[in-house]
Structure 1
């Protein structure tokens, strides 16, 4: 059940990140999930780096906000990399 929870959590975080940063993105549902899952890890890492408090892997509102912020960062970097590759 853990992997399914991470996929659903990543999909939700990735979709919300794409809603916060509208624009055309190559990739569909799988890329959105991957952006959300990677964003959760990046958000947790940045949270711990800035606060010194480890972000545990619980599924609650603060974790979702952290994952969304991380997904926005990952989506921004993804758009930079894909935009340059497309030129």
Structure 2
């Protein structure tokens, strides 16, 4: 159940992160959802490694949004046109 909750939070967090991050982000439902889920999972497991969350505890919505926004910024850095 923990993984399903993390995925659901991540999906909504991806939508919020896409709205909050400036620039043209990845388009499409599945790419936005994957970005949010990845951010949520990254925030959860990084937070557990750093001791912010206990084992089995998810990052929550704010942590997931921050994780998704960081992934979105990295996406922009990787896909920007080379001048």
TM-score (ref. length: structure 1): 0.71
Structure 2 CA distance for partners of 1:55 and 1:34, relative to 1, 3 Å: farther
Which segments of 5 or more consecutive residues in structure 2 lack a partner in the other structure? none
1:13-63 alpha-carbon deviations (Å, 9 max, x no partner): 0011112212112321111100000000111123223335336355xxx61
Structure 2 CA distance for partners of 1:4 and 1:55, relative to 1, 3 Å: closer
Deviates more, 1:72-81 or 1:30-39: 72-81
The root-mean-square deviation of aligned C-alpha atoms, in Å, is: 2.7
CA distance in 1, matches of 2:55, 2:62: 12
Q: Note if contact 1:47-1:55 (Cα within 8 Å) is conserved in structure 2.
A: no
CA distance in 1, matches of 2:70, 2:54: 19
Number of aligned pairs?
81
TM-score (ref. length: structure 2): 0.73
> Whose relative contact order is higher, 1 or 2, with alpha carbons under 8 Å and at least 6 apart?
2
